[in-house]
Each structure stands twice: as structure tokens, then as C-alpha cells.
Amino acid sequence: MVKIRDIELPDFPLLLAPMEDVSDPPFRALCKEQGADVVYTEFISSEGLIRDAAKSTIKLDIYEKERPVGIQIFGAELDSMLQAIDIVEKSNPDIIDINFGCPVKKVVCKNAGAGILRDIPLMVKLTAEIVKRTKLPVTVKTRLGWDTNSIKIVEVAERLQDVGIEAISIHGRTRVQMYKGEADWKPIAAVKNNSRMHIPVFGNGDVDTPEAAVKMRDEYGLDGAMIGRASIGNPWFFAAVKHFFETGTHIEPPTMEERVDAARRHLQMAIDWKGEKLGVFETRRHYTNYFKGIPHFKEYRMKMVTSDESADVFAAFDEVLEKFADFQFA
């Protein structure tokens, strides 16, 4: 059994990664239904929270059915981060996660996200003060290092553990790599194999098949997998991995009816949560994967991703179900 303080998780839990404009309550609900053991919110700007910016505060919405759920924050200014912690606690998450891994330029240029990997002492100091500030378990998501010449993740993880974090998720790339090339899990395994480490070590990056998850578990000995891009438009990925763990075989892919139903529910929940305009816009990125593999599908995909009216998108779903009802997914 894997534990984040008192939160008991199954052997080799699957975690939904915090992804901007992806890991919102509607999508988290779908992933939870399909077996995600822990879900994280989209990452939230500490500066945005303390300024009461609407885009940041709405991300604090969590629901009982999601638990255990973590709220992830990012920033590089101590005072702002501590004030943000006070705000986050009011939403009563199970976990507070610190983002030390986002590679996006607008985050990095403020020394936040993966930018802080250039200043490990600051990274450790921020973490220590946040742990002192809250009674909730604090976890960290980070990368191997800034570049291949500065990978010190074994030392960094140990120092973060020593100041009180209760789990760490590590993406197997440097910031300079962004999402290019293959993720390297060997340094993550080195963190896990450090005899001084006693907190869970979760791997992230390129867990895009059930076989990859098995490899991360059995060959690299990690405590769990954090799933990101493989889940976009594919909440069934969690169920597929767990089925493979149990049986060694691949689960039957969801039918067309199941895919359309999930897409409809996803869009409706998004509209209910964030309104018509944003609900329609921010759900678009999922449709390619919901209906991946269908030949001659461009006409319908274009309707889904270009319409600003939900009625048109729902109508496109109906058309797809009628025209491709008998399509067999590989």
C-alpha cells in the first residue's frame, strides 16, 4: 500500500497530472470514474490567487466525489506563496502540490515552475516554509533538472523530503527538453533507490500505454505513475492500465456509444461549471482523441472544434453516433 501521510492508496496508484485547461472538474470526474486514484487541479498562480483573479479562483473548485484531490500552486515569491496556501486551505483539498516543473516560458521567466530548478536553495526554502504554513500534506511535482548538465534530482528530492514533503512526482525530462525526446526514468529510479528516501516517488512522462505503466512499476520500481497527455480525450486510459495490471490483457476499447456519451457529458459538465463560451472552447482539445482512428472524420471534427455554440457540437455528436455507430475501434 502507498500512503501520502494518512491517505491510503492502492499498490502502484495512477494519478491524473495537473494540466492547464485540461484537469478541470468535469475531466477529473470522468477520470475518477475510470479509476484515477488521485486527481490534481490545473496549476494555479499564487499571484493570481492573492489578487483574486477569476481565472485562478475558479480553479479552487473541488467536489467530494473527486477525493483524494490535490490543489497545485506555482510561484516564486515566498510571501505570495504563503498567502496562496492560506486561500487554498479554505477549499479543503486533501493535498497541496507545488509545481516546480512547468516548462512554459511565461511561467519560467518569473522563476516559477521549472524556472526554479536554476535556484535549488530557493526551491528548498519555499518548500520548507510552505510545509510549515499548512497542516495538509505537501507534495512536489518537478523535472530532472534545468538541462542535462544540471541533473541533481537525487539530491534535490532528498532535500525536499528533509524539509517535509510527503511525496514527489518527477517528469523524466529537463526543462530544456520541454516535451521532446524520450522521458528518462533512470534518474527517477535513482531517487527511489536512494536508501534515505522514504516517501512515495511517482514517475511522469511517456506513460502512454499499459505496457509502459508495467515497465515503470516492475523494471524501475517506482511507487506509482502520474498520467498526463495520454489521458486527454481518453479518460478510459486509467481503466485500461488497471485491467492490464490484473489480467495481462488489453481491455476492449470503448464503443462509439460510450465515446459519444462521455463527450456529451464532458461538454455539459464544462458548460455547467464555466459557462457556455468557455465550456465549449476548453473542451475542444479532447475531441480528436475521443474519436481517434475513425476514417474520413475531418468534417465532423471540424464541426466540433470550430463551433462556438454548444447546440452545434451536440448535434455533431448525434451525427457521429448515427453515421459511425458500427465502427469498431482497434
**CA separation for the pair 125, 142 (Å, rounded):** 15
Task: Tell me the CATH class for 2-247.
Answer: alpha beta
| Torsion sign (Cα): 203, 207, 210, 214 | negative
Q: Annotated binding site for FMN: which residue ranges?
A: 72, 141, 171, 228-229
Contact (Cβ atoms closer than 8 angstroms) between residue 143 and residue 118: no
Cα–Cα distance for residue pair 143/117, rounded to 1 Å: 8
Query: Is the pTM of the predicted complex or chain greater than 0.85?
Result: yes
CA distance 279 to 324: 25
Give the pLDDT confidence score for residue 102 in this predicted structure: 87
**Coil, helix or strand at residue 199:** coil
Catalytic residue among 17, 39, 102, 199: 102
**What is d(CA 330, CA 322) in angstroms, rounded to the nearest whole number?**
19
Per CATH, domain 256-324 is 1.10.1200: yes
What Å distances lie between residue 147 and 56, 118, 133, CA to CA?
30, 9, 31
Question: How far apart (Å, rounded) are the C-alpha atoms in residues 79 and 131?
Answer: 14
Rounded to whole angstroms, how far apart are CA atoms 84 and 96?
11
Other residues' Cβ atoms within 10 Å of the Cβ of residue 209: 15
Q: Are 98 and 72 in contact (CB under 8 A)?
A: yes
Could you tell me if 288 and 233 are in contact, meaning their C-beta atoms sit under 8 angstroms apart? Answer: yes
Radius of gyration (C-alpha) of the chain in whole angstroms: 20
pLDDT for 53: 81
Give the position of cell 510549515: 132
Helix, strand, or coil (residue 228): coil
Give the separation between CA 228 and CA 179, rounded to whole angstroms.
12
The torsion angles phi and psi of 301, rounded to 5 degrees, stand at: -60, -40
CB count, 10 Å around CB of 109?
A: 10
Grid cell 458500427 in the structure block, residue: 326
| Predicted pLDDT at 171 | 97
109 catalytic residue (yes or no): no
Cβ atoms of residues 43 and 99 within 8 Å: yes
2-247 and 256-324 in the same fold: no
β pairing state of 2-4 and 7-9: antiparallel
Instruction: Give the pLDDT of residue 192.
Output: 98
Cα separation, 263 vs 157, in Å, equals 39
In the chain, where the domains are located = 2-247, 256-324
Low-confidence ranges of the chain (pLDDT < 70): none
